[in-house]
Homo-oligomer: A and B are copies of this chain.
């Protein structure tokens, strides 16, 4: 690890491949289309690991990311984000080259697309199945108006209904996660039944890593779009989606100061590297990451009693019992298991695949 001088994402390829394999097997087992979300890794190399296992449809969360992966040959991409009408030129460039699927939740956006699209694009209607971030609730009359519009559309192909059950992240355990998934399934299946006669090919598409990880299978949906599972993280471990040992990334950070009297280490690794995503307990306790030793070939088990206790722009503070602290000196390296790997991977420009 001698080449690492600044905060760097270390990716354990074997763990990432195993995470991909397991999710892929679950999708294949129930005949569900596997369209993984690539916002987590945003990496051409990690994309190739998916491709090697037979994935050929992907999800991203911005037009920019769609272009990035289209340039590497991905040609069936869903931008799972309410369509940004201000990027219509770039959307047209992409729609000319690849199978491009967009999301909408208003007739207003559909009308804009119908007049401005120069090439065919697919549209999912985004459904809010309980997360209340984006999407229309299943009984919102706007859905019928959109479908009426789509029936006569020349340029937009109606693909079906899509949801992201992000409220699984606030669930209190596996039972509640599965209940959320089942509720989303019922809501989407009802919409599908209602409109299947006019659109016999419409599908229902479902996302989120916690439920796709915890469920025995994903039957009932036509497509799943989990993303975080490729790396997992401390948040997913807390939710019960994975074991600590499944987490496939750490941020490797230089140690810059050791304070035995405060039982603290200072690392070069702050909010601009790890993100300020935290796990909070009731008493105001905040945790920005677990701490692992770096080994010759990767990293070890979490150091007992050690955690990232605060972050400023470039500094991270690690609380660590004195007896553990003694092994570290300025100039050394230490690893942080991230709270939210999507944000940490997005921030760390320097990445090393082990």
Chain A residues at the B interface, C-beta cutoff of 8 Å: 4-6, 39, 61-62, 64, 81-87, 90, 105-106, 108-109, 112, 132-134, 140, 166, 254, 256-258, 261-262, 266, 268, 271-272, 275-277, 310, 312-315, 317, 329-331, 333, 342-343, 346-347
Which of A90, A272, A333 gathers the greatest number of chain B CB atoms within 10 Å?
A272
| Pair B254/A84 contact, Cβ less than 8 Å | yes
Q: Secondary structure at chain A's binding surface: helix, strand, loop or mixed?
A: mixed
Can you name the residue of chain B whose Cβ is closest to the Cβ of A134? B266
| Pair A312/B166 contact, Cβ less than 8 Å | yes
Closest Cβ–Cβ distance, residue A291 to chain B (whole Å): 17
A133 and B82 contact, Cβ closer than 8 Å, known pairs A271-B275, A271-B277, A276-B275: no
| Pair A132/B62 contact, Cβ less than 8 Å | no
Closest Cβ–Cβ distance, residue A325 to chain B (whole Å): 13
A109 and B331 CA atoms in complex are apart in Å by 8
Residue from the list B39, B84, B166 in contact with A268, Cβ < 8 A: B84
Closest Cβ–Cβ distance, residue A86 to chain B (whole Å): 4
A106 and B108 CA atoms in complex are apart in Å by 63
Closest Cβ–Cβ distance, residue A1 to chain B (whole Å): 10
| Pair A86/B276 contact, Cβ less than 8 Å | no
- In the A-B complex, the 5 residue pairs with the smallest Cβ-Cβ separation, listed nearest first, are A85-B331, A82-B256, A5-B86, A276-B276, A82-B257
